[in-house]
């Protein structure tokens, strides 16, 4: 019979130390692996944060801008106006005598000169009238000779007492009457000559003639021998020089008159002007008239400048922009117009400080001179103003300033 083993021995063998060691080793290995994975994750995340911190710390370079100190220049204060050209001389050519129009010696719109023959009215009736007047003068002259002879004979007979004093007086009266007839005949001759002269219509001055209002063969009514309305033949306007008419506001007029009174001499005798399709003021004129009263309805006063037109390019009725000097020259700052920013109701310029930061400044602006904007106040001569690259300049931001230059174009103002 088999020997039965001791149960306690069997229990010790099943729960003994050698048999439990493999389970403890697997548990410890798993814990170590988890710890290693966590450490690796911590290191990876920390390394990622370190890289991102280094990337965020890399600041981009400051943008480049062009800067320059404001340009200083002496300029006079000018006011701008809109004017319209008009002819100094303008005449409606009308017939002085009536008759049939026989000749036209120009083309519509042609430049004609003083004394040029323009129209011819049939002169034959006036030539006949002139011949009649000359014949009447000869008749009157013959009567004067007869009256002189009769008076001389009557005076001789009176001395010999063969004629009465009454006869002498009658012959004296006949002599005076015949002399008056001579003067009347001479006047009729001058009148006939004038009618004959008026049958030729000539240009009273040099200018451009308009479209003719009549044709050859038209019956023309004259103003000297007819009570009917006279016939308009054409219009003629002078072209060199021209008037440039404009209206000056009350404030500009006050500034103008005060400055003129202060300097005690003529001011603004010179004006510059430009046409509607011109960007500069290349033409010049002379201010020669300011009216004596302001218009109540508009609060303006009429003024006028005379503009040379040697090339006959300008025409009456055209519009032009003009500038009138209303104050003597004074030192101002000038900047490119693109360097001035309009911020609601004020103007700004961007300046660069010594530490290369951008600082805006409020300025007061004037008109354009030499293609540049006049700065009346708000700038110092040492300010470095951004003249190019404003889109890259933000207030308080850093920039990389680069020196530039401001150019003054005197031809823009007609100087």
Question: Please, what is the angle between helix 165-198 and helix 124-159, to 10°?
Answer: 170
Q: Identify which has the larger pLDDT, 51 or 354.
A: 354
Q: Which of 105-114, 183-192, 201-210 has the lowest mean pLDDT?
A: 183-192
User: What pLDDT score was predicted for residue 136?
Assistant: 81
Residues 6+ apart with CB under 8 A from 383: 69, 70, 351, 361
Asked if 272 and 404 count as a contact pair (C-beta separation under 8 A), the reply is no
Q: Residue 169 and residue 177: Cα distance in Å, rounded?
A: 12
User: What pLDDT score was predicted for residue 56?
Assistant: 47
SS3 content of the chain, % helix, strand, coil (to 5): 35, 35, 30
Asked if 98 and 114 count as a contact pair (C-beta separation under 8 A), the reply is no
Residues 6+ apart with CB under 8 A from 301: 247, 248, 250, 253, 290, 291, 293, 294, 295
Neighbours of 94 (CB within 10 A): 17
Q: Is residue 243 predicted with pLDDT exceeding 90? A: yes
Q: What is the DSSP string of 164-199?
A: -HHHHHHHHHHHHHHHHHHHHHHHHHHHHHHHHHHT
* Cα dihedral 230/234/239/240 (nearest 10): -60
Residue among 41, 87, 376, 133 nearest 238 (CA): 87
The angle at the Cα of 196, spanning 195 to 201, to the nearest 5 degrees, equals 90
Q: Is residue 140 predicted with pLDDT exceeding 70? A: yes
User: What pLDDT score was predicted for residue 127?
Assistant: 87
Q: Is residue 4 predicted with pLDDT exceeding 80? A: no
Alpha carbon 153 to its chain's center: 84
* pLDDT one-digit tens code per residue, 216-239: 988 888 877 566 678 889 999 999
Supply the pTM of this predicted model.
0.62
Q: Residue 57 and residue 400: Cα distance in Å, rounded?
A: 20
Q: Is residue 152 predicted with pLDDT exceeding 80? A: no
User: What pLDDT score was predicted for residue 227?
Assistant: 62
Neighbours of 405 (CB within 10 A): 9
């Amino acid at each position: 019979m088999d020997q039965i083993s001791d149960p306690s021995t069997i229990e010790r063998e099943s729960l003994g130390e050698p048999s439990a060691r493999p389970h403890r080793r697997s548990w410890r290995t798993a814990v170590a692996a988890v710890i290693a994975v966590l450490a690796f994750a911590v290191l990876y995340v920390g390394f990622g944060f370190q890289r991102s911190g280094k990337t965020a710390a890399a600041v981009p370079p400051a943008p480049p801008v062009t800067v320059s100190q404001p340009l200083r220049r002496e300029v006079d204060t000018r006011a701008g106006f809109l004017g319209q050209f008009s002819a100094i001389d303008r005449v409606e050519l009308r017939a002085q005598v009536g008759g049939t129009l026989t000749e036209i010696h120009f083309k519509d719109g042609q430049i004609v000169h003083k004394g040029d023959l323009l129209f011819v009215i049939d002169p034959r009736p006036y030539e006949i009238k002139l011949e009649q007047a000359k014949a009447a003068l000869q008749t009157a002259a013959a009567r004067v000779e007869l009256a002189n002879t009769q008076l001389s004979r009557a005076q001789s007979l009176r001395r010999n007492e063969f004629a009465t004093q009454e006869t002498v007086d009658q012959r004296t009266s006949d002599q005076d009457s015949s002399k008056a007839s001579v003067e009347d005949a001479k006047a009729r001759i001058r009148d006939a000559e004038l009618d004959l002269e008026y049958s030729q219509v000539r240009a009273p001055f040099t200018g451009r003639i308009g479209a003719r209002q009549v044709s050859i063969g038209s019956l023309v009514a004259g103003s000297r021998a007819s009570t009917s309305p006279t016939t308009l033949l054409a219009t003629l306007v002078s072209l060199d020089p021209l008037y440039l008419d404009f209206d000056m506001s009350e404030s500009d007029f006050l500034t103008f008159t005060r400055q003129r009174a202060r300097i005690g001499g003529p001011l603004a005798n010179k004006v510059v002007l430009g046409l509607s399709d011109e960007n500069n003021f290349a033409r010049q004129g002379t201010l020669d008239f300011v009216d004596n009263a302001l218009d109540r309805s508009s609060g303006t006063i009429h003024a006028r400048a005379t503009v040379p037109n040697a090339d006959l390019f300008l025409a009456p009725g055209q519009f032009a922009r003009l500038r009138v000097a209303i104050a003597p020259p004074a030192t101002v700052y000038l900047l490119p117009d693109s360097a001035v920013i309009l911020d609601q109701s004020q103007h700004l310029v961007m300046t660069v400080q010594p530490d290369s930061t951008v600082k805006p400044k409020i300025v007061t602006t004037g008109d354009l001179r030499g293609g540049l904007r006049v700065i009346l106040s708000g700038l110092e001569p040492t300010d470095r103003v951004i003249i190019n690259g404003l889109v890259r300049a933000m207030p308080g931001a850093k920039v990389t300033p680069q020196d530039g230059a401001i150019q003054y174009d005197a031809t823009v103002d007609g100087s």
